[in-house]
Amino acid sequence: MDKLSLLIWVPVITMIVMAFVNDSKVKWVGAIGAAVQLIQSVLLLFSFFAAREAGDTSEMLFTTDIVWYKYLNIHYATGVDGVSIALILLTSIIVFTGVFASWEIKDRTKEFFITLYMLATGVFGFFISLDLFTMFLFYELAVIPMYLLIGIWGTGPKEYSAMKLTLMLMGASAFLLVGILGIYFNSALDGGQLTFNFIEISKIDIPASAQYFFFPLTFIGFGVLGALYPFHTWSPDGHASAPTAVSMLHAGVLMKLGGYGALRIAVMLMPEGAHHYQWIFIILATIGAVYGAFGAIWQKDLKYINAYSSVSHLAFILFAALMFNQVAFEGAVLQMISHGLITALFFALIGMIYSRTKTRNINEMGGLMKVMPVLGVAYFIAGFASLGLPGFSAFVAEMTIFVGAFQNEQMFIRVATILVISSIVITAVYVLRAAGTMLMGAIKNKDFELLPDAHWYDKVAVFVLIAVIAGMGMFPNWLATMIYDGLGPMFERFVAN
Amino acid sequence: MDLSNIIIMRNELSLIVVVLLLLMAEIFSSKNARYMLLNVATGLFALHTILGFLPAETGELFGGMYRNTPLIILMKNILNIGVLVVLFQVQGWLKKPENNNRSLEFYLLTFSTLMGMSYMISAGDFLMLYLGLELATIPIATLAAYDVYRMKSTEAGIKLILLAALSSGIMLYGISLIYGTTGSLYFNEVMGNLQMNPLQILATVFFISGLAFKISLVPFHLWTADVYEGAPTNVTGYLSVISKGASVFVLITILFTVFKEMSDAWQPLLMVMAVVTMVVGNLFAIRQQNLQRFLAFSSIAQAGFILLGMISGTTYGMATVIYFILVYVFSNLAAFGVVSIVKNATGKDSIDDYNGFYSTNPMLSMVMLLALFSLAGIPPLAGFFGKFFLFAAVAEQGMYWLVLIAVINTIVSLYYYLLVVKAIFVVRVDNPIEPIKGELLARVGLVITVIGILVIGIYSPIFEWVQALSFGL
């Protein structure tokens, strides 16, 4: 068993064990499984550094390549570089904290954790895949459990939200499927073997006419999952209805599949198509960033605020992916990680507050800081991180994106960049307004005075996330270098094509 | 006549032996021994199925009227396995008091239709094909009307036989045109004499219409919903999987061999039919409340996907069609297995009846989930691979717009499959269907289908085996 396949097998084995223990022990099994996975990811990071130190300069490390279906040349091919390792690390941190954030699930506990782990399996599989077919397979595997997770364990109009989310994301995967098939059948025009391996495909030139047709399909296919305006509408409803851990995993990790795919597959494999349609998608991403921020201002429900804020921040990723320079690309990946951590922290806190106050409407709350100081302070930290205060991860990521974006000299892109930057100001408005109304002032509701502060399992989730966010904000260098180097080889071919 | 190599017909011969044995047994057995006979019949058929996997001789008989190739043997084996699963599922229903006296008839009729299908697939001549088709059709109408005292069942039988007669009339007309223009009924001789003249195109269209009726392609699908709803659940399962599968096998063999030269004529025809079939099947499936009707329309939509592989016109496309049928047999029979277990125990078959089903019947619910997700094409289940390969076969020919229409249709289909999933898992009610314990054999049948759904996709040698045989056609 190679290192990377273990990343799939550990969640799978965890699921199997969960199926055979009784409900009260399931969450412990889940916690142990998540911890093992986290340790594994950290070890993977160290062995990655060790291999690089030792002078291994191959693009992907720890590769496995097994032929699966011969005729279509489908392989089970795995490998990681700096980018995917960073995202694997992010995923295992969020799964780990997600387990603790859903410690209080009582209804069908076993089924909940098994479904949650199925989602996680899909995400890990996606990030280690080098083969577009298995990538697509894992993508769908990660999306479909969302229906059950939101439908069964959600709140509010959960059936509607679950159906909307599933159909929109699967609809996106329909476009993606056509895009992938198109890439595949154009991957060997010089008479070689057709291939699904995206490293191989990045080395060849897909004919421009094909790129013009398949780039939009692929980019939109991934973009929907990355909350590309105007296809973001599933996201606020879905997040608002989803249970805590699912919101965390979904906004924190699953939506990054969209950004990762849009950057690595759509843009990197089809540079000409990307250049051709750049202006349309830049406009859409800019609208998304500004619109998401304004949307968040209007909301009173904490989850909706955060969901719209996610739409805004994810638009940064797609925006950066369209800037076509290595710094901006690096910023895109940094933003995936930073936003994943911050949004997961937000959703975890919102879930904890909601489970105590039974409301998410900020106008009904007030003075919560006096009742639950730990959660209150954590919420402020999350807010500051989200609006890009230096010292937290978002600052690093957004700064990198805008430095990269400004390297483009066209007026159009500069204006767009400035518009996107302006959304950060709006972020400050809604973050501070929500935190202020909810946490400061007098206690509005007498019943809230007796509410407990964070339990030990809440603290595990919150502290781990805060530590990582602050750590990334203060020592971004190793991560940034790792991602920058990881993007290097593909970027060189991107420019050359 | 030289009968030394009649062993080539092993599949049909062993089926005849089974049928004759059962016929004798029914005549000479006492009333109490009938229960036993059901198990004997199932056992005999299981033996027949296993026999099908032993190495077999291939070749031609009766001057080319009957032929057997490795691919044809594979097709028959797929059908045999499907029928075996149906037989497992049917136990609970046949053991009901009202069916007690005539339960063996079910076997005799089923085996007769299966024999008809075998001949149909093995035919090397249009006459043989037609005889097989009739043998496969008429007993099915009897099966559909098996619950004689239920109006809907009788209606289903009548509807089926009348429309089947009409469609075979059209098909015969097509065959007569072929004979008129080529002077022969043998596939080998017809093949060389087709020149795309208008009469021959008309003949092709008529011939395809006849089979399209059996596969329930739009616009020949109008009988499907009523018959599927009225017929006993297990017969519906048989109709939608075995009967449809056999007709697809025949259609694809004929199109890829006899009518290969005419592909310019049938390709656009099938394209239109595929799109219309997918759209109509899906749109009507959304509105259904009765599960049997629901599965009927879903199976119409699935037939549209099957056509995609044929449109590609390549051997790879052919392999994907046969593989998809294999996947479809397991997925659809799993769904019908659950429906029939529930219907036998409670008589309920509407989607609303399934509200909260998971809280009382978790295992059956899981089987249903797997079956529906496989039909919808969700990884890592077999249906995902089946559909992906079909789409790849079409994309290989550069028909990306067709792929796009098809994938959008899979999303529509996902919507209605999720409606059932929602009823079972998401909706909570105070009085869901009580816990059901199906017959042992019915549960064995479900286990077989679940294994099929889980393994056929992930284990790639199965597809490669199908493909290797298709290249040998």
pLDDT of residue A387: 86
* Residue B313 pLDDT class (50, 70, 90 cuts): confident
Nearest to B407 among A69, A148, A177 (CB): A177
pLDDT for A172 equals 92
From chain A, the residues in CB contact with B422 under 8 A are 151, 159, 163
Confidence of residue B381 (pLDDT cuts 50, 70, 90): very high
**Which residue from A133, A2, A123, A1 is spatially nearest to A60, judged by alpha carbons?**
A2
Distance from CA of B151 to the nearest CA of A (A): 38
Report the residue from B415, B425, B467 with minimal CB separation from A71: B467
In the predicted structure, residue A132 carries a pLDDT above the cut 70: yes
- How high is the pLDDT of residue B244? 92
Residue pLDDT, tens place only, B238-260 = 999 999 999 999 999 999 888 88
Which chain A residues have a beta carbon less than 8 Å from that of B316? 71
Q: Describe the crossing of helices A109-128 and A23-53 by its angle, rounded to 10 degrees.
A: 20
Inter-chain contact B418–A71, Cβ cutoff 8 Å?
A: no
* pLDDT single digits (tens) A301-317: 888 999 999 999 999 99
What is residue A61's three-state secondary structure?
Answer: strand
Residues B317-336: tens digit of each pLDDT: 999 999 999 999 999 999 99
pLDDT score, position A22:
85
Cβ of B408 within 8 Å of Cβ of A171? The answer is: yes
Tell me, what's the ipTM?
0.91
State percent of chain A over pLDDT 70: 99
Among residues 149-208 of chain A, which lie with CB inside 8 Å of chain B?
A: 151-152, 158-159, 162-163, 166-167, 170-171, 174-175, 177-178, 181-182, 184-185
pLDDT in tens, A220-253: 999 999 888 889 899 888 888 888 888 889 888 9
Mean local confidence (pLDDT), A384-394: 87
Listed residue (A276, A285, A159) closest to A222, CA to CA: A285
- Determine the average pLDDT of the residues in A42-48: 91
* pLDDT (0 to 100) of residue A189: 66
CA distance, residue B379 to nearest chain A CA (Å): 6
Partner-chain residue, chosen from A71, A141, A170, that has the shortest CB–CB distance to B411: A170
Give the pLDDT confidence score for residue A219 in this predicted structure: 93
Question: What single letter denotes the amino acid at residue A480?
Answer: A
Asked if residue A192 has pLDDT above 80, the reply is: no
- Say which residue, A417 or A55, is predicted with more confidence: A417
Cα separation, B321 vs B464, in Å, equals 13
For the segment B421-426, the average pLDDT, to the nearest whole number, is: 91
Check pLDDT > 80 for residue A86: yes
SS3 A76: strand
Alpha-carbon distance A322 to nearest alpha carbon in chain B (angstroms): 25
Q: What is the pLDDT of residue B2?
A: 62
Interchain contact, B426 vs A185, CB within 8 Å:
no
Find the residue in B nearest to A170 (Cα): B411
Would you list which residues of chain B are within 8 Å, Cβ to Cβ, of chain A? 316, 373, 378-380, 384, 388-389, 391-392, 395-396, 398, 400, 403-404, 407-408, 410-411, 414-415, 418, 421-422, 425-426, 460, 463-464, 467
**CB-CB: which of B384, B411, B421 is closest to A174?**
B411
Looking at A330-334, A397-401, A438-442, B125-129, which range is the least confident one? A438-442
Average pLDDT for residues A276-295, to the nearest whole number?
A: 91
The single-letter code of the amino acid at A83 is: V
pLDDT at res. A446: 77
**Which residues from chain A sit within 8 angstroms of residue B464, using beta carbons?**
69-71
For residue range A10-24, list pLDDT tens digits in order.
999 999 999 898 888
Q: Which residues of A73-110 are buried (b: 16+ CB within 10 A; e: fewer)?
A: bbbbbbbbbbbbbbbbbbbbbbbbbbbbbbbebeebbb
Rounded to 5 degrees, φ, ψ at A76 are -95, 95
Contact criterion met (CB below 8 Å) for B125 and B186: yes
Closest residue in A to B366 (Cα–Cα): A111
Smallest CA–CA distance, residue A275 to chain B, in Å, is 23
> Does pLDDT of A414 surpass 70?
yes
* Boundaries of every domain in chain B: 6-471
Contact residues for B462 (Cβ-Cβ < 8 A; gap 6+): B323, B326, B455, B456
pLDDT at A13: 92
Give the tokens for residue A201: 């495909």
Nearest residue in B to A68, CA atom: B460
B391 → closest Cβ in A71, A170, A181 = A181
- From A139, which residue of chain B is nearest by alpha-carbon distance? B379
Search chain A and give the residue with CA nearest B373.
A144
pLDDT score for A319: 92
Select the residue of B378, B391, B398 nearest A177 (Cβ to Cβ).
Answer: B391
- Is the CB of B384 less than 8 angstroms away from the CB of A140? yes
Integer angstrom CA distances of residue A156 from A151, A152, B253, B359: 10, 11, 53, 21
Do residue A162 and residue B316 have CB atoms under 8 angstroms apart? no
A445 secondary structure, DSSP code? -
Residue of chain A whose alpha carbon sits nearest to that of B412: A167
Q: Quick check: A167 and B379 CB within 8 A?
A: no
- Chain A nearest C-alpha distance from B167 (Å): 36
**Distance from B456 to chain A by nearest Cα, in Å?**
12
Distance from CA of B193 to the nearest CA of A (A): 34
pLDDT value for A448: 75
The yes-or-no verdict on residue A136 having pLDDT over 70 is yes
Express each pLDDT in A419-435 by its tens digit. 999 988 889 888 888 88
The per-residue pLDDT for B222 is 87
Kindly indicate the confidence band of residue A199, based on its pLDDT and cuts at 50, 70 and 90.
confident
Which of A72, A159, A171 is facing B411, going by the closest CB pair?
A: A171
Are A80 and A60 in contact, with CB atoms under 8 Å apart? yes
Q: What percent of chain B has pLDDT over 90?
A: 41
In chain A, positions 408-467, which contact chain B (CB-CB < 8 Å)? none
Distance CA A243, CA A108 (A): 13
Q: Which DSSP string corresponds to B318-371?
A: HHHHHHHHHHHHHHHHHHHHHHHHHHHHH---BGGGGTTHHHH-HHHHHHHHHH
User: Best residue in B460, B463, B471 to probe A by mutation, most A CBs within 10 Å?
Assistant: B460
Is A72 in the B-facing interface, judged by CB distances under 8 Å? Answer: yes
Smallest CA–CA distance, residue A70 to chain B, in Å, is: 8
Nearest CA of chain B to the CA of A161: how many Å?
12
Q: Which of B407, B421, B422 sits opposite A178 (nearest CB)?
A: B407
Confidence band, pLDDT 50/70/90 cuts, at residue B272: very high
Question: pLDDT of B9-62, one tens digit each?
Answer: 888 889 999 999 988 888 887 777 777 788 888 888 998 888 888 887 788 888
Min distance B387 CA to chain A CA atoms (Å):
11
Residue B1's pLDDT is what? 54
Residue of A23, A71, A108, A141 to mutate, interface with B, max B Cβ within 10 Å = A71
Residue B131 has a pLDDT of 92
**Average pLDDT over chain A, rounded to whole?**
88
Query: How far is A157 from chain B, CA to nearest CA, in Å?
Result: 12
Q: Summarize chain A as % helix, strand, coil (round to 5).
A: 75, 5, 20
Contact A137 B380 (CB under 8 A): yes
pLDDT at B473 exceeding the cut of 80: no
The confidence score (pLDDT) of residue B324 equals 94
| Nearest Cα residue in chain B from A69 | B460
Cβ pair B171, B130 in contact under 8 A: yes
Tell me which chain B residues have a C-beta less than 8 angstroms from the C-beta of A178: 395, 400, 403-404, 407
Kindly state the percentage of chain A with pLDDT values over 90. 34
